[in-house]
Structure formats: C-alpha cells, structure tokens
Homo-oligomer: A and B are copies of this chain.
Amino acid sequence: MDVAERIELALMKHLQAVRGPSCPPGLDQAVQYAVFPGGARVRPKICLAVADACGEDHPEVSEAAAAAIELLHCASLVHDDLPCFDDSPLRRGRPSVHQAFGEPLAVLAGDALIVLAFQTLLRGTGEAPERLAPLVEIISRSVGMPGGIVAGQAWEFEPEVKLADYQQSKTGSLFAAATAAGAAAAGVDPEPWRALGERIGSAYQVVDDILDVAGDVEALGKPTHQDEARGHPSSVREMGLEGARKHFESIMAGVVATIPPCAGAARLEARIKEEASKFLPAALSEHAA
C-alpha cells in the first residue's frame, strides 16, 4: 500500500469510528466535506516518512499520528475560512465549509475535528499505550497555546508581530509536530526531530506567501492576493518576490543537515526533496525568477 493510500484509509477509519445514527447528519456531512477529498496531505506524508526512517514498528500508531495531524490541519482551514477571519468562499477548488453548510456547522465541524484528533491518537495507540502521552503532548502543543496554530492565527489581531514568530506558530508548529510525532510513533525521542519539521514548515510558508502573490486561483483552489488585502505578515511583503524565492531555496538547502541520525536517513532525504519539489510549481518558479 502506498503512503497516500495509507493516509486516506487511516482518515476514513478514524472518522468512521465517530459516525453513526446518533450524530446530527449536518455535522457529520460538514466534517466529511472538510476532510475529503483532501489537498496534498503534505504533513501526514512527512509524519509517515519520519516514522519509517525511525524504524516504525507499529504502523497503526504512525497512521493515527499522521491522521491526527491532518485532522488538525483541516480544522484550522475550516476556522480560518470563516467570515470573521479570511472570509474565504473557496477551498480546494469548491465552496468552503461555511459556504456549503453555513457558519454554525463550520464552527462546530472545526471543533469536532480538533477533538477527533485526540480520539484518533487514543484509538491508534491501543497496542502501544505508552506512546499516547508523548503524542498528546506533541499534538496539543502544535495547535494550542502558547505557540500552536491558534496562537499563530491570533497574532493576526495584534498591532505588532514578528514575521518569524507568526509563521512559526501558524505553519511551523504543525510541521514540527509532523516530524516529532513520526518519531514518537516509532518509539524514538521526538525532540531532536522538531528542527526538521520547523525548517520544512518555514519553506512551505514562504511558498504559500509567493503563491498568494503570483499563484493561479484555479490551480490553488483558493483566492489569491489575500495577505496584502488583509495586512497579514508575508515573506513577499517583507523581501519581495525574488527575495522570497531565494529565501525558500536557502531554507531547503539546509534541510539535510537537520535530519537526526537514523537508519533511514537517505530515504527520508529523498522523500522530503520530492515533497518540497511540489511546493513551488515549475511555471511559478520561472515566473518568480
């Protein structure tokens, strides 16, 4: 089974576990819609690649960790798209959750997805119960206070914010969780793995900023030119398009050095480069150059 298939199956299995006739149909549909069909599933792919490099011994634990991270990512997209934040009508090329199901069910679907991430960790660690605590620690840190996704989103409402802090909370934290959770799921100390995720997250965020300025609405499946319109901190606003592209390349050049010693380092490096090569479309890379 390839990695993409493992991720979809894990997501389906853990969502299935909380469905049923006692669930309000609207909420059930909104949650399914928020998760399927997905985007690139970059974070869970990185999580599984790290688990593999660390000598994965309980596949269902790493699959649960990867699924939990993707569920939190989906939750953050649903809430970010709400009228009081980005007010985005489009996501993944179709109406955003609040456009399709209304604002109340979008708020509740996001809440339910956050809870489901923890239910997923619990269900996935039945065979290795000692791995639940480190995974709860990693996952909760990536999304909660003081420096997780909610904090990153909240920085948008502060009068002053440093770009690096903002990007680390809003994007880096979940990538750091992806690598740390991959290690923890394999029974390996997660701390040394955070730096790798943070670096990949930084690169990803710079690309996101570039695509917001130079990307194509149809290819991205979401509106562009939002950072400037909303006054959000952005690499492009800070260093220009060409500066941002160079910044991306210099971040990626340092990725290899941040991979902790492990049996599968070479395979992991290849996978990360493959994923990263998809971040910035070739056409855009020329456009920016």
Residues of A that sit less than 8 Å from B by CB:
18-20, 22-28, 31, 75, 79, 82, 84-85, 102-105, 107-108, 110-112, 114-116, 118-119, 121-122, 125, 129-130, 132-133, 136-137, 140-141, 143-148, 150-151, 153-158, 161, 165, 169
Q: A132-B133, A133-B132 are in contact. Are A111 and B112 (CB under 8 A)?
A: no
Query: Which of B115, B146, B148 meets A19, CB within 8 Å?
Result: B146
**Number of identical protomers:** 2
Q: A102-B157, A104-B157 are in contact. Are A146 and B22 (CB under 8 A)?
A: yes
Instruction: Evaluate contact between B144 and A119: CB separation under 8 angstroms.
Output: yes
- Whole-angstrom CA separation of A137 from B17 in the bound complex: 13
Instruction: Evaluate contact between A140 and B153: CB separation under 8 angstroms.
Output: no
Instruction: Evaluate contact between A111 and B27: CB separation under 8 angstroms.
Output: no
- Whole-angstrom CA separation of A158 from B108 in the bound complex: 13
Q: A18-B144, A132-B132 are in contact. Are A150 and B115 (CB under 8 A)?
A: yes
- Whole-angstrom CA separation of A151 from B104 in the bound complex: 12
Instruction: Evaluate contact between A122 and B105: CB separation under 8 angstroms.
Output: no
Q: A115-B140, A140-B118 are in contact. Are A20 and B157 (CB under 8 A)?
A: no
Query: Which of B23, B82, B141, B150 meets A146, CB within 8 Å?
Result: B23
* Closest residue of B by beta carbon distance from A126: B133
Residues in B whose Cβ lies below 8 Å from that of A151:
22-24, 27, 112
How far does the Cβ of A84 sit from chain B's closest Cβ, in whole Å? 4
Give 28 A-B contacts (CB < 8 Å), ordered by A residue. A18-B146, A22-B147, A23-B147, A24-B154, A24-B157, A24-B158, A27-B145, A28-B146, A79-B107, A84-B103, A85-B104, A85-B107, A102-B157, A104-B153, A107-B107, A108-B150, A111-B111, A111-B114, A111-B150, A112-B145, A112-B150, A112-B151, A115-B143, A119-B136, A121-B136, A125-B133, A129-B130, A132-B133
Query: Which of B19, B26, B145 meets A31, CB within 8 Å?
Result: B145
* Closest residue of B by beta carbon distance from A147: B22
15 more contacts with CB within 8 A, not counting A27-B150, A84-B107, A112-B150, are A18-B146, A22-B151, A23-B145, A23-B151, A24-B154, A24-B161, A25-B158, A26-B154, A26-B158, A27-B145, A27-B151, A75-B111, A104-B157, A114-B114, A132-B133
- Whole-angstrom CA separation of A196 from B41 in the bound complex: 43
